[in-house]
Amino acid sequence: MKRVGILLSGRGSNFEAIAQRIDEGKLDAEIAVVVSNIETAPGLRRARERGLDVAFVSSKGLAREAFDQQVVDILHKRRVDLVCLAGFMRLLSPSFIRAFPNRILNIHPSLLPAFPGLQAQRQALEYGVKVSGCTVHFVDEGLDSGPIISQAVVPVLDGDTEESLSARILEQEHQIYSKAIQIVLNGQIRIEGRRAVPIS
Amino acid sequence: MKRVGILLSGRGSNFEAIAQRIDEGKLDAEIAVVVSNIETAPGLRRARERGLDVAFVSSKGLAREAFDQQVVDILHKRRVDLVCLAGFMRLLSPSFIRAFPNRILNIHPSLLPAFPGLQAQRQALEYGVKVSGCTVHFVDEGLDSGPIISQAVVPVLDGDTEESLSARILEQEHQIYSKAIQIVLNGQIRIEGRRAVPIS
């Protein structure tokens, strides 16, 4: 059974969607550990309630590298095959990324490369796009810039607020993240240049 | 009847789609003139074959402003209500844009703001996105940056070449451009900040 480590800073709704797919037998994996940099993150509490291994790593007074090394140590100790970011509000250092080459995934609430960074849904509304969506991608050293595994599209409606658009995108996030994780765990994808292409 | 002026530099397939929609009674407008900066543009020939007014304006040895002024004069003389770029391979000068405030449309073969500029389909393939599409937008002084009226999505398939993706996007361009033109001609849209919003 492939082992997934999850990093989160907030409510962790994508973590919960992944855990639910596993419970339903729709994603063939197990969650080895849930790590957070925020002690009070609701996602961390929910992971505990599910009886999962959890870890809180305080970033207080730590240099990025020192914090990242602690997280990497935890992930290595739990023999994690794949790291999934689920609302983890910190940039990973290059040494973290090198510790899990092509083994870190993120989900972002826009059709990348449009609207990277924070508040992607607000960026999309302010730009005035008519469609947006979400993107599962490998994490590299850039900002939301790694090879794309999967994207889902949602319409932007005329009366949309940041909340209504975010909710519509989130539904799709919950759909595509687990599927992308399964594809990567199955080794059904390889990276060519900056493209993630299926192995036929 | 609202009068549309079309600017093109190449085959003008979007021009032909617009002309066809008008012929079919699906777009309530008339083409007042087709202008090209390329004397041999197939689109200009086809406009002539359709019996439309055409104009070739050579940019040879002309400063941008002088060229643009000639085109603006032609469009004004034909009492054009709306200017539609259809593969017009020149940037418009600020004075051109000021001559037709919120009255110039363009269609671009990507989901803007992703992949502005030339070879948008190739940019999309090289980036490795899983969805792309096309965008009808008002022309402002930036590069493919004006308020968006309409977008259509197409999937990027694993075996896609620049040609196959371009063809799939082009089908959608032909669909959405005429509809967007109708909406603008009907005055069903207003610009708020950088957003084009329907008037309800």
A157 at B interface, C-beta within 8 A: no
A23-27, A39-43, A189-193, range with the lowest pLDDT: A189-193
Question: Do you find a cis peptide bond into A113, omega within 30 degrees of 0?
Answer: yes
- The pLDDT of residue B194: 87
- Cβ neighbors of B115 (< 8 A, separation 6 or more) are A113, B123, B124, B127, B132
**Cross-chain residue pair A196–B128, CB shorter than 8 Å:** yes
CB B97 within 8 A of CB B75: no
A194 at B interface, C-beta within 8 A: yes
Quick one: DSSP state of residue B154? E
Is the pLDDT assigned to residue A200 strictly greater than 90? no
pLDDT tens per residue, range B74-97: 999 999 999 999 999 999 999 999
Contacts of B114 in chain A (CB under 8 A): 111-114
**Cross-chain residue pair B111–A112, CB shorter than 8 Å:** no
- Mean pLDDT confidence for B37-58: 97
| Residue B102, Cβ density class (10 Å: 0-12 exposed, 13-18 middle, ≥19 buried) | middle
pLDDT band for position B200 (cuts 50, 70, 90): confident
- The pLDDT of residue B121: 98
Report the predicted TM-score, pTM, of the whole model to 2 decimal places. Answer: 0.94
pLDDT band for position A143 (cuts 50, 70, 90): confident
Structural domains in chain B?
Answer: 1-101 (3.40.50.170), 106-200 (3.40.50.170)
Per-position DSSP letters for B1-62, written without gaps between them: --EEEEEESS--HHHHHHHHHHHTTSS--EEEEEEES-TT-HHHHHHHHTT--EEE---TT-
How confident is the prediction for chain B on average, in pLDDT? 96
Contacts of A128 in chain B (CB under 8 A): 147-148, 193-196
Q: Which of B158, B194, B196 sits opposite A197 (nearest CB)?
A: B158
- Mean pLDDT confidence for A48-60: 96
Tell me the ipTM for this assembly: 0.93
- Please name the residues between 58 and 117 in chain A that touch chain B, using a CB distance below 8 Å: 111-115
Contacts of B126 in chain A (CB under 8 A): 193-195
d(CA A148, CA A105): 10
- The pLDDT of residue B159: 92
- The pLDDT of residue B40: 97
Q: Distance between terminal CA atoms of chain A? A: 23
- Mean pLDDT confidence for B24-30: 97
- The pLDDT of residue B28: 97
- The pLDDT of residue A136: 98
Which residue of chain B is at minimal alpha-carbon distance from A193?
B126
CB A149 within 8 A of CB A184: yes
Quick one: DSSP state of residue B91? P
d(CA A184, CA A82): 9
Contacts of A147 in chain B (CB under 8 A): 128
| Residue A175, Cβ density class (10 Å: 0-12 exposed, 13-18 middle, ≥19 buried) | middle
Contacts of A193 in chain B (CB under 8 A): 126, 128
pLDDT tens per residue, range B96-119: 999 999 999 999 999 999 999 999
Distance of CA A48 to the CA centre of its chain: 19
A124 at B interface, C-beta within 8 A: no
Which residue of chain B is at minimal alpha-carbon distance from A196?
B128
Is the pLDDT assigned to residue A30 strictly greater than 80? yes
Chain B contact probe: residue of A110, A126, A131, A134 with most B CBs at under 10 A: A131
- The pLDDT of residue B193: 84
- Mean pLDDT confidence for B140-159: 94
Which residue of chain B is at minimal alpha-carbon distance from A195?
B128
CA of B6 to nearest chain A CA: how many angstroms apart? 25
Half-sphere exposure of B157 toward its Cβ, with a 13 Å CA cutoff?
Answer: 11
Give the H or E element holding residue B84: strand B82-85
For residues A123, B189, B191, A133, the Cα torsion angle rounded to the nearest 10 degrees is 10
- For residue B65, how many other CB atoms are within 10 A of its CB? 12
**Cross-chain residue pair B147–A128, CB shorter than 8 Å:** yes
Cβ–Cβ pairs < 8 A, chains A and B = 67
Distance of CA A36 to the CA centre of its chain: 13
Say whether B76 is catalytic. Answer: no
The number of helix segments (H) and strand segments (E) in chain A equals 6, 9
**Cross-chain residue pair B127–A133, CB shorter than 8 Å:** no
B197 at A interface, C-beta within 8 A: yes
Calculate helix-pair angle for B162-185, B13-23, nearest 10 degrees: 40
Is the pLDDT assigned to residue A144 strictly greater than 80? yes
Q: How many residues does chain A have?
A: 200
d(CA B85, CA B104): 7
- The pLDDT of residue B143: 86
Contacts of B113 in chain A (CB under 8 A): 114-115, 127, 129
